[in-house]
A = this chain, B = another copy of it.
């Protein structure tokens, strides 16, 4: 079994890219792999708690919590979050916040890195 590090970056909220990343995390964990998931830029929106699950909008809080229970390691870029007004007290339980070096450290011993940086 391997380790997959996924990074999901800016300009991606409201696209299906975060949905893709969460489904890929799930598929990898189901196969017994270890998964680190880093969100930065606009992707940090994923970390906010109490997102209303409308059917018109991607609602990822529930699947994320299930994945965290199965061992998903998920971290938001602290500066990117603070700059958007996402503070510790409105962060989803279990969602970590660190500076950018966390992502690079995760890549250090990853077997594969999928960096979703573009549009």
**Chain A residues in the interface with B (C-beta under 8 A):** 10-11, 13-15, 41-42, 45, 48-54, 56-57, 59, 79-80, 82-87, 90
Contact = CB atoms under 8 A, between A and B. Distances in A.
A45 B87 CA distance: 13
A41 B48 CA distance: 16
Contact of A13 (B13, B15, B52): B13
Nearest to A15: B11
Contacts of A41: 14
A85 B48 contact: yes
Contacts of A85: 45, 48-52, 90
A77 to B, nearest CB: 11
Contacts of A11: 11, 14-15
Given A42-B42, A45-B85, A54-B82, 12 more contacts: A11-B15, A13-B84, A14-B41, A42-B45, A50-B87, A51-B82, A52-B82, A52-B83, A52-B85, A57-B84, A59-B83, A90-B90
